[in-house]
Structure 1
Amino acid sequence: REALEAWREAGPLRVRRELGARLQRLGERGLLRVPDPAGAAFHLMLLTTVADLPDRPEPSVGPDGAGAVGAVGAADIVEAEGAAHGVIVAGVRAFLHGYRRPSPGS
């Protein structure tokens, strides 16, 4: 349990705090509407996380536990990166739709 907490603190929670601080600064500059920077950071992370794409290639593992050389081809990697890119772009667009400042007169 301690190892998991240490990982969360050093990884995702640290990223969320830093992202929240940056989003707050964007809000202060009038570029975004960010009433809750921590919540906005959480939303952005959820919208852009691609940890479980179904078509993501996974390297095969040999009987000794070592990954097989060439098990994931370059085409598989490019395809997975393209899918991840699409998820990230769509997530950022959704985030901006919800957090952008209304244009004057709207």
Structure 2
Amino acid sequence: MINGISYYPEGRKYTYFLKSEEYKQILDRLEINYENIRLYFSHSISFESKNILEIYLRKCVLDDTLDLFNFFEPILQECFEPETNQYKFEQIVDLVIIEKASNI
């Protein structure tokens, strides 16, 4: 799995996004009960579908000014599967379900 943010931390210069671990630390400090469900996704985009690839990449950086194919070139090379002629992106997402808090 590739972490685009670790490749290009400067790509997130406009807004800071909390990681799920940070949310969970806050909830733990506030003694709020929650359930964490880890979800796994695999996104495949055909090499010929450059427009779909661009939309996908644009959502990763939230910056309309970047030349995405240049910016993500190392990641795209690593994620390309020649045998299927597709880019494949693995993603892990934490779904944090917060129980009703009686102490707030």
More helix as a share of residues: 1
TM over 0.5: no
So what's the TM-score if we normalise by structure 1? 0.22
Structure having the higher strand fraction is 2
